[in-house]
Amino acid sequence: MTMIRRRWGGARSAVSVAAAGLLAAAAIPVLAHQAAAADTLGSAAAAKGRYFGTAVAASHLGESAYAGTLDREFTAVTPENEMKWDATESTRGTFTFGAADQIVSHAQAHSMKIRGHTLVWHSQLPSWVSGLSASDLRTAMNNHITQVMQHYKGKIYAWDVVNEAFQDGGSGARRSSPFQDKLGNGFIEEAFRTARSVDPNAKLCYNDYNTDGINAKSNAVYNMVKDFKSRGVPIDCVGFQSHFNSASPVPSDYQANLQRFADLGVDVQITELDIEGSGTAQATNYANVVKACLAVSRCTGITVWGITDKYSWRSSGTPLLFDSNYTKKPAYDAVLSTLGGSGSGGGGGGGGTGATCSVSYAKTQEWSDRFNGQVTVTAGSAPISGWTVTVTVTPPQKISATWNGSPTWDSSGNVMTMRPNGNGSLAAGASTSFGFTVMKNGNSAAPAIGACTAS
């Protein structure tokens, strides 16, 4: 599906055209109804204005339970290995994108965001790179960034431009790597500058582990980001891998750490979450991570590092939300209810009581081949933190553009589920609107607007 994104201005004549009372169908009030909380990770996160992603391996996409769980629950993907240097340029100058392309196509077909992972990293780096001289390495690094980003230009929400460039422990020093050792401290800045010039619309992230709490390593990353922001070096986000286990537990200052980075003027994202364990203990840890992200307004999304324990890189630690049979674990229920959703067990609900909303529809503009529609969402007598509305068009009509919302689509492409795009929180009685363009293809019927669900 190709979506043309338009700015709000697209519906500027809304009031006058609606006031002209064009067609009987032009204003359809839909009754408020009681909130039914979202029942998937992705929809619950979307109601909070965030994505919920997972690492994906192309080799498993053919497994129906794997793809089915992915498509049902997740709104973002990160290729687990397929975009790394050893996968994309194992031989100098020869680029291989087949496996990563499979993931990207799948994600696009399901309107999922894509995190690009990763361009410059000491690991999974072909040996030819480490053998280069400094000047040759600089050329190779910039070429690698350029070729890979160019191939996916316009398709990537955020790139992990540089991964894991700092040492563990108390030194706060850079990690030894071919890039660090030959190009010196400036290699990160150079990588980010090159990345910005190739795809200015992708968010550019620095990504690392053991930086989840406040410690010497995260301080060093913090100082680098602060320096970049002060000097205008392009950086948009910091990724916190968040691989946790008993030796590396969820830090108590996790939220404070995310917040201090956000306060530098970057988005923060939880990029590779997995937490070893089982049962309630694992569930509580997951809930705490989700709470921390929800408490930081610039925490834009959470990605778990795999769907099922079966294929986890740390499989023996059973660190994910679905067991090896794709059954939801207590950790899944905890994440869903912390996101404000509620699962089949009905465990969650948390905080959604009394949240209702109503919708009204107006056709705001019409041309011979298309019309613009606008849906206004109004909170009931209690404030709401999220809303969901479906818009169903009559084939062969197609929605060709949307604005002021985050759409997902059913497999037919006729049913669009719209969720907030930063406009999920409404005071009691307050309204927001989203809009869309319907290509008539010979049929000018008004779309059916479903009831509004609030959280």
Please report, as ranges, the residues that interact with ligand XIL according to CB under 6 A.
80-81, 163, 241, 272, 313
Cα distances from 90 to residues 98, 159, 283, in angstroms, run: 13, 20, 39
Q: How far is the CB of 232 from ligand XIL (least distance, A)?
A: 27
Query: What's the gap between Cα 90 and its chain centre?
Result: 28
Q: CA nearest 292: which of 333, 242, 245, 243? A: 242
Distance CA 258, CA 10 (A): 36
Query: What's the gap between Cα 67 and its chain centre?
Result: 18
Q: How far is the CB of 207 from ligand XIL (least distance, A)?
A: 6
Of 190, 272, 276, 366, the active-site residue reads: 272
Comparing CB distances to ligand XIL, the nearer of 81 and 219 is 81
Q: How far is the CB of 269 from ligand XIL (least distance, A)?
A: 13
Q: Six-digit token pair at 108?
A: 């696009």
Q: Under a CB-based contact definition with an 8 Å cutoff, are residues 360 and 450 in contact?
A: no
Is residue 272 annotated as a catalytic residue, yes or no? yes
Taking CB atoms, the residue at the shortest distance from ligand XIL is: 313
b vs e for 280-306, b when ≥16 Cβ sit within 10 Å of the residue's Cβ? eebbbbbbbbbebbbebebbbbbbbbb
Q: What are phi and psi of 226, to 5 degrees?
A: -60, -45
Comparing CB distances to ligand XIL, the nearer of 81 and 167 is 81
Comparing CB distances to ligand XIL, the nearer of 73 and 80 is 80
Comparing CB distances to ligand XIL, the nearer of 212 and 272 is 272
Comparing CB distances to ligand XIL, the nearer of 241 and 342 is 241
Q: How far is the CB of 78 from ligand XIL (least distance, A)?
A: 8
The DSSP letter of residue 248 is: B
Q: How far is the CB of 204 from ligand XIL (least distance, A)?
A: 16
Q: How far is the CB of 219 from ligand XIL (least distance, A)?
A: 20
Residue owning tokens 């994202």: 269
Instruction: Find the Cα–Cα–Cα–Cα dihedral 420, 421, 426, 432, rounded to 10°.
Output: -90
The DSSP letter of residue 75 is: S
Contacts of 174 (CB under 8 A, 6+ apart): 165, 166, 167, 180, 185
Q: Under a CB-based contact definition with an 8 Å cutoff, are residues 455 and 352 in contact?
A: yes
Comparing CB distances to ligand XIL, the nearer of 95 and 313 is 313
Residues annotated as part of the active site: 272
